[in-house]
Amino acid sequence: MPRYFLEIAYKGTHYSGFQIQDNANSIQEEMEKALRTFFRQQLTLTGSSRTDGGVHALQNFFHFDYEGIIEQRALYNLNAILPPDIVLKAIHPVAPDAHCRYDALSREYRYYLYRQKDPFIADRAYYFPYTLDHDQLHAAAALVMEYHDFTAFSKRSTQVKTFLCDISESAWTEEPQGLVYRVKANRFLRGMVRGLVGTMLQVGRGKLSVAQFAEVLRQKDNRLVDFSAPGHGLFLHQVYYPVSMFETAR
């Protein structure tokens, strides 16, 4: 049966997360509802990367199977059905065995901080007006790339089989409105990026040394990790696939 990838972006402020949940509104629920309205049948979606409540995405993916040709007008019609804080960016025909989760090569997240009070970005970045030692932040971010086992940076209520992640990028950068933490890996654990950000901010404030941060990484004990960085500062920036994935015509 033909398979399609849905490329979406969303503002996660009013959602409990990406994946469908009981008694809570999710991105998946809204997407499946729009598909059901347009195609007049129930279509089950498989997601690429789960995001927590309040977390945003500039790019994320679902895939689904549909026996039929999806015309270009479907993009306009589905966006008309979807709520204003979710946008369907593209519908990609892919090979019947393509999988939006398992075929992803890597994911990139960005976490945004701003230093001066600004009501126009308050729901899309973390207001953090404290003094930070940027050299210590950079040193902590570089240290992340030396490790593979991120047991300490995973929330406890998870069912993953492994806590190993291959980090290919980890860095703080300065932008006009504040600081941005950029991290790219083949996979992420539940709460991992927020845990890294919160704990590195303790390093930047001088409450932890870089050596102590390294010890947190080694200890594999999430009680040592600061998960307090709020979800609204976090964006799933991009999901990377092989170039040939979207060149495969149905």
Q: What CATH code is carried by the domain that includes residue 86?
A: 3.30.70.580
Q: Are residues 110 and 99 in the same domain?
A: no
Write down which residue in 103, 129, 148 finishes a domain: 103
Write down which residue in 74, 103, 132 finishes a domain: 103
Which of 52, 85, 118, 135 is flagged as catalytic?
A: 52
- Domain assignment present for residue 183? The answer is yes
**How many Å apart are CA 232 and CA 4, to the nearest integer?**
29
Kindly report, residue by residue over 40-99, the tens digit of the pLDDT: 999 999 999 999 999 999 999 999 999 988 988 999 999 999 999 999 999 999 999 999
Q: What is the pLDDT of residue 250?
A: 45
What residues in the chain have per-residue pLDDT under 70?
A: 247-250
- Domain assignment present for residue 246? The answer is no
Q: What is the pLDDT of residue 248?
A: 55
Q: Are residues 154 and 73 in the same domain?
A: no
Q: What is the pLDDT of residue 171?
A: 98
Q: Are residues 122 and 77 in the same domain?
A: no
Q: Identify the DSSP state of 23.
A: T
Residue 132 lies in domain: 106-237
Q: What is the pLDDT of residue 21?
A: 82
Percent of the chain's residues with pLDDT above 70 = 98
Tell me if residue 52 is catalytic.
Answer: yes
Q: Are residues 113 and 71 in the same domain?
A: no
Helix (H/G/I), strand (E/B), else coil: 77: helix
Q: Into how many domains does the chain fold?
A: 2
Tell me which H or E stretch contains 73.
helix 73-81
Structure tokens at 135: 């050299």
Question: How many C-beta neighbours within 10 Å does residue 49 have?
Answer: 18
**How many Å apart are CA 90 and CA 111, to the nearest integer?**
25
Kindly report, residue by residue over 210-219, the tens digit of the pLDDT: 999 999 999 9
Q: Are residues 223 and 201 in the same domain?
A: yes
Q: Are residues 140 and 50 in the same domain?
A: no
CATH classification of the domain holding 132: 3.30.70.660
Q: What is the pLDDT of residue 123?
A: 96
- Residues 6 or more apart in contact with residue 234 via CB below 8 angstroms: 51, 52, 55, 56, 109, 110, 111, 112, 193, 194, 197
CA 24 to chain centre: 19
Q: What are phi and psi of 72, to 5 degrees?
A: -60, -30
- Domain assignment present for residue 249? The answer is no
- Domain assignment present for residue 32? The answer is yes
